[in-house]
Amino acid sequence: MSEDTTSAERTPEIVPGLTNPRPLSLERFPIRTRGGSVTQSAWRLSVTCGEGEGAIVFVETLPEETLYRGEGVFLGWPRERLEVAYRALLPVSDERPLEMNQLG
């Protein structure tokens, strides 16, 4: 690597294929799936990047079955790629995790 290489060129991509992606919001909302008889909760992660804006919707129908749907810049992405992008872009909470005191 040459000395004139910028640090941006050495920084690995958070989400391959997107320039400087960053989360805008993470919202929870009710959703119904085709063929489903109950209302479930889904998460919508809105993102902006150099290529535009988009969102990834995440639904956990069963503990072993999850669905991802892409909107905007994520439209047409395969499930595996959406999952990697969703996990990489989830906002990190500054709050300490809740600790349960053992009583007795």
For residue 58, the model assigns a pLDDT of: 95
For residue 57, the model assigns a pLDDT of: 96
For residue 96, the model assigns a pLDDT of: 64
For residue 69, the model assigns a pLDDT of: 94
Read off the pLDDT of each residue in 84-93 and give the average, rounded to a whole number.
88
Burial environment of residue 56 by CB neighbours within 10 A (0 to 12, 13 to 18, 19 or more): buried
Residue 29 CA, chain-centre distance (Å), reads 15
Residue 6 has pLDDT above 50, yes or no: no
Give the domain ranges of the chain.
Answer: 12-89
3-state secondary structure of 102: coil
Residue 56 has pLDDT above 90, yes or no: yes
